[in-house]
Amino acid sequence: MYRLSAVTRRAAAGVCARHVGVEARPRLRPGGRDLAANLTTAGTASALQDSRVAPARNGDRVLNIGSLNPQVRATEYAVRGPIVIKAGEIEKELQQGAQKPFTEIIKANIGDAHAMGQQPITFLRQVVALCTCPELIDSPDFPADAKERAQRILQDCGGHSLGSYSASQGLYCIRQDVAKYVESRDGGVPVDPGNIYITTGASDGIMSVLKLLLSGEGRMRTGVMIPIPQYPLYSAAISELGAVQVNYYLDEENNWALDKSELRRSLNEAREYCYPKVLCIINPGNPTGQVQSRKCIEDVIRFAYEEKLFLLADEVYQENVYSEGCKFHSFKKVLYEMGPEYFNTVELVSFHSTSKGYTGECGFRGGYMEVINMDPEVKAHFEKLLSVRLCPPVPGQVAMDVVVNPPKPGEESYKTFKMEKMMVLQNLAEKAKLSEEVLNTIPGMQCNPLQGAMYAFPRIFIPAKAIKEAQASGMAPDMFYCMKLLEETGICVVPGSGFGQKEGTYHFRMTILLPIEKLKVLLQNVKDFHGKFVQKYA
Amino acid sequence: MHALGWRVFRARLTPLLLCRRSVGAASRGVDSMSVEGTNGPACGRQKVLTLDSMNQRVKQVEYAVRGPIVLQAAAIEKELQQGIRKPFSEVIRANIGDAHAMGQKPITFIRQVLAICTYPQLLCDPNMPEDAKLRAKQILGACGGHSVGAYTASQGIETIRQSVAKYIERRDGGIPSNPDNIFLSTGASDAIVTTLKLLVSGEGRQRTGVMIPIPQYPLYSAAISDLGAVQVNYYLDEENCWALNISELQRALHQARQHCTPKVLCTINPGNPTGQVQSRQVIEEVIRFAAKEKLFLMADEVYQDNIYGEGCQFHSFKKILFEMGSQYSDVVELASFHSVSKCYMGECGYRGGYVEYVNLDPGVKAELMKLVSVRLCPPVSGQAVLGVITDPPQPGEPSYQTFLKEKTNVLSSLAERARLTEEVFRGAPGIRCNPVQGAMYSFPRIDIPPKAIEAAKAAGQAPDMFFCMKLLEETGICVVPGSGFGQAEGTYHFRMTILPPTDKLKVLLNKLKCFYETFTKRYA
């Protein structure tokens, strides 16, 4: 069924974009100039133009829905999609005093820890503040280890200022720290700072690498294999770049495990209509929360080796592992342990970020990627491409540095840092367990263990009547469900259709980031809502 | 097998690793090692991602400001560090408009607000002025969880967009600006690329053409290559202080219409690399042209505070558009870009910027919202810098005097350096330099002797690249050849920033002048 769809879908998107554009434009313009828009679309602009010099009017703008880049039009990103826009509207209504069955919107749609009340790691902020305002070096309120870190970083900045551009690849001393961090994480597997690139959040790195990999037309067009369910950055990037999305399904019955035979199936089918070249893995899983076993990773690497696929390992949740018996294994480490046959061959990029883990510093847009076995000439082009954007934000680079080079035993800030870090991670582990437990008490809901990451992705059983009503209003059934949940409880979660799911199954993704007392209330509200919903559409 | 596994392997496999390197370079794509009869080791195995299989558009992208000359500069810097003797002791990077790297000090108030936002405990620090604390509180109040670590709305923090709108209104003499039409960005570059991305469509003759000035800032040509759009050059008039000529626009457009669909007209004012400041009249003509020919206007106005030439004044495209009356202001689609990297701030590292759209189709705007949401949000500290500069200390506030003094100092010192640069070049035979009316660069034209042109060709370099490489290798001065920006056929230029401190700049200019003399003599 996916055989033709990806290609034709793309073609269809372009046509459909133009088609819908003509119909939808007037609807999208409430207010004064609408009339003109309606009239001019029909090409009867002259009456309005009079003696005016310019022929253009709203209806035939240079840039309109019809002339818009069709790849942009085809892009979708559910995490900030219609449900979140609706949440914003309701929030405004509440501010204006509108009466609702709830007093606030709870945004459980996005992994944004600080917005949910998580406190920043003190040491990280101290280092960034010192770099920002170096006069604070004299302040007795800052610990010596933070000052030492800040001075070292500023030493590496042009004019000793965070305000100068850094090298496009990132500040050298920070890349060195990343290299050391990866080395010690992976039990000594060597890292060349020359293979480390600091990025504007992990998303930026993922987009850049995908862009690099894209080529060919028709059957030779690059196919990108992604897990379903996936984090929709991938599908969005694939649409935006005009690549072909190749889905492989995670096994929900088996705790979202990745199955080699499913990889094989998906690859073989895709080879009939595109040229699959990239295999994306998210570990720990987003939205699915599973942590991959060592064996599973070996299987994937072997598969990539045999089938000549370029591996992208999204490992931004590497610190977020909660379940007993689960452990994070980096692709890089496993690759090296599999021997030279593999580690000299398999092309791999691994991504990390400041936004997740225990720091949750999303706003800084910090991240890095490590590039392994990239062809040196391609690498030169890659560096050129990155240089066009000049450099990643320098404060985000500094935040990244603290993540990879935290206070060490014996340093002044070590104890506080360690305590803060533990608190965050323990707390998340507790909330992961709580969410799983409560969601599984709800009849008609089923949730795999949250082994890692920051989300619960329960499967929900939606009654046939509700499915019918959803279809009547032109919504995916789980979108319908999430909209009702939002409107009736103020809880904002993202429907599974935004991540992809097996045909006929429905899910939603919610973050587990709320403070525990609030999370308990939220889970109870979800439970109550679900009961009522099922009854209503019984 | 654990921690030591790779070491064992590496020891065992060193010969293979070595062979792989030599083979890899010589014969991409040949499975040459299979002759060894080993099933496994990857020697010579073709990579998935190769020069041939990579994105061909990326291959075509060029960005001279950080191109080969800058790589060479870094290599020389490393040699100097290793104690290798050169005729100079340091590399002077006059290739990029990076004020702080050249010693310009940050504006105290900006950094104070940012430090407080980052570490709110500083709200209790008696050394932090009250107005900085107030700004920080406002910004934090608009952040999720009162933390700059939370994602913001993808369009940027609403209160900062409001303060940007007010700033634009003040700048443009009261012409209204709607915060909903403002999108904060990761530096202006990000907003420019995103806007171009919206505009690119069609295939063959229907492919979007983008008109850009020549010389241009190479972000434009790079983005056009990357997006697979068609670059349409219009030449600025060097003889006439790089003026933009409507008849030249007309020529470029007509020619381009034979092979693509020109849909966008980009202007850079004040000019980069050319330093001219557009007159009111030119801007009016450009707007009239865009209206008549149905072009989407992109106005790169990141140097709007950097005006030095006597009698020159910055006019925003938005202001003039509205002053031209509703037959234009209701119609012409315009995007105007600004940044925290230039002007008196020079905060390049923060990657802050914004774009204001005028007459953007509402349906397209919804699509744009979706597109920017994929990247989540611009860096919050960059947004905060923008918040500060659009809402600077007011008379009566504790930081006002210092702020004003720092700002004025930076701008007047830049004006002085612009004049100095022009003067020195004016006295140099073979070098011609238009006045640096604005921005941060001089872009002198240089005569290159035919023998040098020959030598350049032999070395496979553009003549001005050849000149700049020699300049770098012999003096340590790093400037960017005109060929990276585009120039009229047969003319040669280089771009240098005017950002080194005045004393250093004097030395640099004289060194450059001397080098040019030696160079022309050598190839006479």
Cβ–Cβ of A373/B366 closer than 8 Å?
A: no
Q: What is the DSSP letter of B438?
A: B
3-state DSSP assignment of residue B417: helix
The pLDDT confidence band at residue B12, using thresholds 50, 70 and 90, is very low
Write down the pLDDT at residue B6: 52
**Both tokens of residue B349?**
């590292």
Look at residues B113, B109, B101 and name the one whose alpha carbon lies nearest to residue B381: B113
How far, CA to CA in Å, does A495 sit from each of A154, A229, A378, A398?
A: 44, 11, 39, 35
Residue type, A453: A
A19 inside 8 A of chain B by CB:
no
Reported as type and span, the H/E element at residue A49 is helix A46-49
Nearest CA in chain B to A310: B48
Cα dihedral across residues B467, B473, B477, B481: positive or negative: positive
How many CA atoms does the CB half-sphere of B101 hold within 13 Å? 21
B346 inside 8 A of chain A by CB:
yes
Using CB atoms, pick whichever of B58, B197, B362 lies closest to residue A212. B58
Dihedrals φ, ψ of A507, to 5°? -145, 175
pLDDT < 50 stretches in chain A: 1-57
For residue B204, the chain A residues in CB contact (below 8 A) are none
B223 inside 8 A of chain A by CB:
yes
Residue type, A320: N
**Both tokens of residue A136?**
């604070």
Which residues 403-442 of A have a C-beta within 8 angstroms of B?
Answer: none
Write down the pLDDT at residue A50: 37
Using CB atoms, pick whichever of A68, A211, A395 lies closest to residue B364. A68
Share of chain B above pLDDT 90, in %: 81
Which tens digit of pLDDT belongs to each residue from B277-314? 999 999 999 999 999 999 999 999 999 999 998 899 99
What secondary structure does DSSP assign to B150-166, as a single string?
S---TT--HHHHHHHHH
Cβ–Cβ of A363/B151 closer than 8 Å?
A: yes
Q: How far apart are the first and last CA of chain B?
A: 68
Cis peptide before B273 (omega within 30 of 0): yes
Using CB atoms, pick whichever of B121, B201, B330 lies closest to residue A68. B201
Cβ–Cβ contacts within 10 Å for residue A425, how many? 16
CA dihedral B397, B403, B407, B410 (to 10 degrees): 170
Cβ–Cβ of A390/B66 closer than 8 Å?
A: yes
CB neighbour class for B465 (10 Å; exposed up to 12, middle 13-18, buried from 19): buried
Which tens digit of pLDDT belongs to each residue from B137-183? 999 999 999 999 999 999 999 999 999 999 999 999 999 999 999 99
Rounded Cα gap, residues B180 and B155, in angstroms: 9
**Both tokens of residue A19?**
């088609």
B54 inside 8 A of chain A by CB:
yes
Write a three-state SS string for A243-312: CEEEEEECEHHHCCECCHHHHHHHHHHHCCCCEEEEEEEECCCCCCCCCCCHHHHHHHHHHHHHHCCEEE
Cβ–Cβ of A29/B362 closer than 8 Å?
A: yes
Nearest CA in chain A to B192: A389
Write down the pLDDT at residue B516: 95
Reported as type and span, the H/E element at residue A126 is helix A122-132
User: Helix A414-441 to helix A122-132 angle, to the nearest 10 degrees?
Assistant: 130
Q: What is the DSSP letter of B36?
A: G
**Both tokens of residue B245?**
């000529």
Taking the CA of residue A465 and the nearest CA in chain B, the distance in Å comes to: 31
How many CA atoms does the CB half-sphere of A39 hold within 13 Å? 13
Cβ–Cβ of B2/A62 closer than 8 Å?
A: no
Nearest CA in chain B to A354: B149
Rounded Cα gap, residues A388 and B57, in angstroms: 14
3-state DSSP assignment of residue B352: strand
Residue of A28, A165, A274, A294 best to disrupt the B interface, most CBs of B under 10 A: A165
Rounded Cα gap, residues A211 and A24, in angstroms: 31
Cβ neighbors of A183 (< 8 A, separation 6 or more) are A189, A190, A191
Rounded Cα gap, residues B147 and A195, in angstroms: 32
For residue B102, the chain A residues in CB contact (below 8 A) are 158-159
Write down the pLDDT at residue A188: 92
Write a three-state SS string for B239-250: HHCCECCHHHHH
**Both tokens of residue A390?**
């000049």
Taking the CA of residue B432 and the nearest CA in chain A, the distance in Å comes to: 29
Look at residues B400, B235, B217 and name the one whose alpha carbon lies nearest to residue B299: B217
Q: How far apart are the first and last CA of chain A?
A: 32
Rounded Cα gap, residues B118 and B136, in angstroms: 9
Look at residues B186, B157, B100 and name the one whose alpha carbon lies nearest to residue A393: B186
Q: What is the pTM of this model?
A: 0.87
What secondary structure does DSSP assign to A386-421, as a single string?
HHHT----HHHHHHHHHHHS---TTSTTHHHHHHHH
Cβ–Cβ under 8 Å, residues A26 and A37: yes
Long-range pairs for A138-141: beta carbons < 8 A, 24 or more residues apart: A139/B125, A139/B127, A141/B121, A141/B125
CA dihedral A272, A278, A282, A288 (to 10 degrees): -10
**Both tokens of residue B356?**
């204001």
Cβ–Cβ under 8 Å, residues A538 and A456: no
B75 inside 8 A of chain A by CB:
no
Cβ–Cβ of B378/A67 closer than 8 Å?
A: no
A10 inside 8 A of chain B by CB:
no
**Both tokens of residue A111?**
């992994």
Look at residues B101, B344, B37 and name the one whose alpha carbon lies nearest to residue A159: B101
Which residues 334-373 of A have a C-beta within 8 angstroms of B?
Answer: 336-337, 339-341, 343-345, 347, 359-365, 373
Which tens digit of pLDDT belongs to each residue from B55-90? 888 888 888 777 789 889 989 999 999 999 999 999
Write a three-state SS string for A232-257: CHHHHHHHHHCCEEEEEECEHHHCCE
Rounded Cα gap, residues A510 and A460, in angstroms: 13
How far, CA to CA in Å, does A349 sit from each of A241, A285, A343?
A: 19, 17, 13
Residue of A79, A119, A168, A375 best to disrupt the B interface, most CBs of B under 10 A: A375
Taking the CA of residue A512 and the nearest CA in chain B, the distance in Å comes to: 16
What is the length of chain A? Answer: 538
Write down the pLDDT at residue B36: 36
A/B interface, count of CB pairs below 8 Å: 369
Rounded Cα gap, residues A485 and A83, in angstroms: 10
Write down the pLDDT at residue A59: 54
Residue of A53, A61, A62, A353 best to disrupt the B interface, most CBs of B under 10 A: A62
Rounded Cα gap, residues B452 and A303, in angstroms: 55
Radius of gyration of chain A (CA): 25
Look at residues A304, A258, A389, A263 and name the one whose alpha carbon lies nearest to residue B49: A304
Look at residues A528, A436, A435 and name the one whose alpha carbon lies nearest to residue A484: A528
Cβ–Cβ under 8 Å, residues B351 and A162: no
Cβ–Cβ under 8 Å, residues A107 and A486: no
ipTM at complex level? 0.87
Mean pLDDT of chain B: 90
Cβ–Cβ of A363/B48 closer than 8 Å?
A: no
The three-point CA angle B312-B313-B318 to 5° equals: 140
Cβ–Cβ of A203/B375 closer than 8 Å?
A: yes
Alpha helix positions (H), B27-63: 56-60
The pLDDT confidence band at residue B44, using thresholds 50, 70 and 90, is low
Tell me: pLDDT of B372 over 70. yes
Taking the CA of residue A29 and the nearest CA in chain B, the distance in Å comes to: 7
Tell me: pLDDT of B482 over 90. yes
Cβ–Cβ under 8 Å, residues B147 and B119: no
